[in-house]
Structure 1
Amino acid sequence: MEIRELREIAEFEQVYELFDGIWHPEPRNVPATVELMIGFAHTGNYVAGAFDGDRLVGASVGFRGGGRSLHSHVTGAAVTGRGIGYALKTHQREWCRKKGLDTITWTFDPLVRRNARFNLVKLGARIEQYLPDFYGEMADAINEGDASDRILAVWSVREAAGASPAPGVATCPVVLEAGEDGRPVAGKSEADVVLVGTPPDVERLRREDPAAARAWREAMREVLGGLLEAGGHVVTLTNHGEYVVTKH
C-alpha cells in the first residue's frame, strides 16, 4: 500500500467517489467537496490517499487548526481489516512532524465502539471534550436520524503511540450498560473510577431499532458527557467496550 499526498483534480475526484461510497450522503452533506480538497491542498493542508496499485482504497482530509495543530476532518477506507486507517494516521502523524506541528485532533461518535477502540487503544489518543450535536443534522446513510454528538480526540505527534495504562477495572462500578432488552441502563456511583458502556453495534441498532439508538445517544450524552463536563478524564476503553473514566 502506498500513502501519498494528492495534487491532481482526478485524484480529488477519486476521493469524492470513495467518500460517497462509504457514507452515501445527500448532496448537501458531502464530507468534502472536490473544490474544498483542491483549496486545502493548495494552501498547505493535508489531503492524502492510500493506494493499492492504481486503486484508491482510503483517504484523509485535514486542515491546520489553532496553534501547532492539524484537525483531521474526515478519514475513510473502502474496506476494513486491512490496516488502511492506521496507515493513513501514521502517514498523517509523520507529515505533522515534518511540518513542526505538535498535535492532531479529530472527532468521533462516542457510541461507535470500534472507532473508540481504534482511537483510544491502538493510537493512544486522549479525549478532550464531549460535543453535543456537533454537526447538527447529518443526511447520510450512517448518521441520519440521530443527533451528531461527537468526542474531540487529541493525539500527540511527539509521544509514542499506544494506550495509557488503565487502572484496575475488575471492581469498578458500571454507570451505563445494556439491559436485557439491549437498551441503556444508567446509574450513579461515588467511586473515583467508573465504567461507561457502549452498544455493540450502534449503526446496526439505528437501522433495526431507531428508538433504542436514540435512547443510547441520550444516555451517553448524560453520563459520559456529564462526567467529562465535571472534570473527569477517559483513560482507555476496556475489552468489553466500556470507557474507563477517572473523576479527577
Structure 2
Amino acid sequence: MEIEVRDLAGLGEWSAASALYRSVFGYVEPEFGVSPRLLAALHENSGSVIGAFDRGELVGFCYGFTAVEDGVIYHYSQAAAVAARAQGAGVGRRLKFAQAEAARRTGARTMRWTFDPYALRNAHFNFAVLGATAIRFLPDYYDDGSSDRVLVSWDLSGHVPAPSRSDEVVAPSDGRWSAPDPPDRVTLRAALIERFRAGGRLVEVTRRGEQAVYKFREADR
C-alpha cells in the first residue's frame, strides 16, 4: 500500500469520508451519518478532518474538534474509520498521529476520545501502541443501553508519568472481548466503575491466558 495522510478539503472528499464512515461501521440509519457540511465547518474552525489515501482512494478517515475543560484546551477525537482492506497496515496509527499534530497547532497539549473498554484490540491500540491513559468511566455513553465507554487522554508532549502504586481488575476473556458472558460483564463493569470512582487511571489492558487484566495506577498528584 502507498498511504498518503493529509487534511481533507472540498465537498467530494468530505462526502467520501462520510460514505466511508457509514460503510465501516455499518450504519444505515441517516441520523448516524456524518454530515459533509459538519466536516466543512470543522475544517475551517480548528477541528481535524483527516484522510488516508491509497493511490488516490480514501481508505481511512478521522475527525475531531477543539474542546475545553476547567479552562484547559484539548482536542477531542470523535471517530476514526479504516476500510476493511486497509486494516492492520498501520493506517489508524498514522491518522492518530496526524490528528495529534493538528491538535498541537491549536495549542492543545492533550487529545481525548472514548472507546469500548471491553474490546481488547481497541484497548491494546490505545494503551500499548499510543500510550494513552483512561481517566473516566462513562456508563451507557450514547444512552442506547449498550454503550459503556472509557474516556482516554493522550499527552501530546511525550510526558511519561512517574511510576505509582497500581492494582488490577481481572475478568474472563474469549480473546476478542473481556467478560463476554452477561453475568461476568456485570461484575467487570461494577469493578471498573469503582476503580475510576476511587481515583484510579487505567493504563494497560493485557491478556493472561484466558483472562483480561486491567491495570490501574493512582491519579497524578
User: TM-score when scaled to structure 2?
Assistant: 0.84
Tell me, yes or no, if structure 1 residue 227 matches structure 2 residue 195.
Answer: yes
Q: Does 1:74 align with 2:85?
A: no
Report if the CA contact (8 A) 1:103-1:157 is conserved: yes
Instruction: Compute the RMSD of aligned alpha carbons.
Output: 2.5
Partner of 1:109: 116
Deviation sequence 1:24-62 (CA, Å, 0-9, x none): 124254252222212211223111100011111100010
Q: In structure 2, what is the Cα distance between the partners aligned to 1:33 and 1:218?
A: 36
Q: Is the 8 A contact 1:103 1:155 kept in 2?
A: yes
Matched, 1:201 2:176: yes
Q: CA offsets per residue over residues 147-171 of structure 1, 9 Å max, x none?
A: 111000000111168x98798xxxx
Shift in Å, 1:216: 4.6
Note if 1:133 corresponds to 2:108: no
Q: Distance in 2 between matches of 1:218 and 1:34?
A: 39
Contact kept? 2:48, 2:103, Cα under 8 Å: no
What letter matches 2:9 in structure 1?
R
Partner AA of 1:44 in structure 2: S
Partner of 1:53: 55
In 1, are the aligned partners of 2:202 and 2:214 still within 8 Å (CA)? yes
Q: Please identify runs of 4+ aligned residues in structure 1 that moved more than 6 A.
A: 163-167
Q: Deviations over 1:167-193 (max 9, x none)?
A: 8xxxxxxxxxxxxxxxxxxxxxxxx62
SS at match of 1:151: strand
User: Equivalent of 2:66, from 50, 60, 64?
Assistant: 64
Partner AA of 2:176 in structure 1: D
Supply the distance in 2 between the matched residues of 1:224 and 1:81 (Cα, whole angstroms).
29
2:39 is paired with a residue whose SS is helix
Change (3 A) 1:101 1:247: closer
Partners of 2:172 and 2:16 lie apart in 1 by 34
**Residue 236 of structure 1: aligned partner:** 204
**Structure 1 unaligned spans of 5+:** 138-145, 168-191, 206-211
Per the alignment, do residues 164 and 242 of structure 1 end up closer, same or farther by CA in structure 2, a change over 3 Å counting?
farther
| TM-score with structure 1 setting the length | 0.75
Cα distance in 1 for residues equivalent to 2:136 and 2:30: 27
